[in-house]
């Protein structure tokens, strides 16, 4: 097999190249990742890579990525530069694919199966296939295709050149450096290794950390109406141990039919010191605005003064914004959540906000 492209990817062995071969181009993140992904598959693990723009050589490739001006999965041709190419990951995504996205679209499930030793039909593979595209590959696609992340009219607050695509770019030779094809291939070996290492580290994190946390949130959602000391409408989620819950809650709310009046408002969980927290669910994962903040009269008050004010023993604090509070015990935190649910929202009773 030859993976043939116009950027220099990581290789185990380099074919002899024709005398008229163009000088190698500098590494880019999409090709670096695409080649590393392909090498995860048993059928491509020991494959030889040829770099060329020579059409005659390209035609001999068993699989061709990022060169050749063809997208033909049946013939293993995966270029995205040709006029009229508008392929996306699926109907829900709008970002045009790069070579990395094309490889992930067609081989992602098999790659996950090989890496995690799971059957391709395992529901976990389906879940991670989309999750890894959303969290990792789509950004590579967008940057390589020059698709802005936000409207041009929005001026960034600061500059960031620390993303994977930028770091691959920094492996390119400087304008005043001398280099040859062999040097460029070494640089791309480094780029492909870096891209693949980061990607599969993300796969491992998603499988070993993100996925168990998702199950914890799902379990809590399923029993929230029956949780001791909770809320009969299911508006309080209780975790017996801390888990990263925000991302999962909002994702699961899209897939589980939860009436608006039964959506979680507060989350109760233990902190690292063994005390308990009650946290208001935000309006969105990135929002600083809560669905219902803890009562205004509690905010910025601490310890005995807060316990006396609220009538709840063991209070520790409520943040001045009302997004989080603390109590010495689980039952105390649950009571804070229940009392907060009963507290009238000033906006809902006709208060004027200016």
What does the pLDDT look like over 155-214, one tens digit per residue?
888 988 999 999 999 999 999 999 888 888 889 889 999 999 999 999 999 999 999 999
Domains of the chain by residue range: 2-147+180-210, 224-344
What gap in Å lies between CA 167 and CA 143, rounded to an integer? 13
Note the pLDDT of residue 12.
30
pTM higher than 0.75 for the full model? yes
Check residues 157 and 126 and name the one with the higher pLDDT: 126
Q: How confident is the model at residue 46 (pLDDT cuts 50, 70, 90)?
A: confident
Cα distances (Å, whole numbers) of residue 336 to 5, 129, 260, 267: 61, 40, 22, 11
Residue 353 has pLDDT above 80, yes or no: no
Q: Residue 278 is encoded by which pair of tokens? A: 């009650």
Report the 3 state secondary structure along 154-190: CCCCCCCCCCHHHHHHCCCCCCCCCCCHHHHHHHHHH
């Amino acid at each position: 097999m030859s993976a043939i492209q116009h950027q220099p990817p990581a290789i185990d062995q380099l074919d002899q190249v024709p005398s008229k071969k163009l000088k190698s181009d500098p590494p880019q993140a999409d090709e670096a990742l695409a080649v590393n992904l392909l090498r995860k598959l048993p059928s491509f693990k020991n494959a030889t890579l040829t770099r060329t723009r020579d059409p005659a050589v390209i035609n001999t490739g068993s699989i061709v990525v990022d060169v050749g001006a063809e997208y033909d999965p049946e013939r293993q041709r995966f270029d995205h530069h040709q006029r009229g190419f508008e392929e996306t990951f699926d109907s829900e995504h709008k970002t045009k694919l790069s070579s990395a996205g094309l490889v992930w679209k067609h081989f992602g499930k098999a790659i996950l199966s090989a890496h995690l030793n799971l059957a391709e039909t395992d529901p976990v593979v389906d879940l991670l296939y989309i999750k890894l595209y959303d969290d990792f590959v789509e950004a590579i696609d967008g940057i390589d295709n020059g698709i802005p992340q936000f409207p041009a009219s929005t001026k960034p607050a600061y500059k960031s050149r620390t993303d994977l695509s930028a770091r691959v770019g920094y492996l390119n030779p400087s304008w005043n450096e001398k280099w040859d094809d062999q040097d460029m291939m070494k640089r791309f070996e480094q780029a492909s290794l870096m891209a693949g290492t980061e990607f599969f580290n993300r796969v491992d994190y998603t499988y070993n950390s993100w996925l168990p946390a998702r199950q914890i949130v799902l379990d809590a959602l399923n029993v929230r109406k029956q949780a001791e000391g909770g809320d009969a409408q299911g508006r309080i989620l209780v975790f017996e141990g801390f888990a990263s819950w925000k991302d999962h809650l909002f994702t699961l709310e899209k897939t589980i039919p939860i009436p608006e009046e039964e959506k979680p408002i507060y989350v109760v969980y233990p902190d690292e010191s063994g005390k308990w927290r009650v946290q208001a669910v935000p309006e969105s994962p990135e929002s600083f605005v809560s669905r219902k903040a803890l009562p205004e009269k509690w905010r910025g008050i601490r310890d005995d003064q807060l316990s006396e004010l609220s009538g709840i023993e063991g209070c520790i604090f409520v943040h001045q914004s009302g997004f989080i509070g603390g109590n010495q015990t689980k039952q105390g935190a649950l009571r804070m959540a229940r009392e907060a649910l009963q507290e009238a929202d000033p906006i809902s009773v006709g208060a004027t906000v200016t």
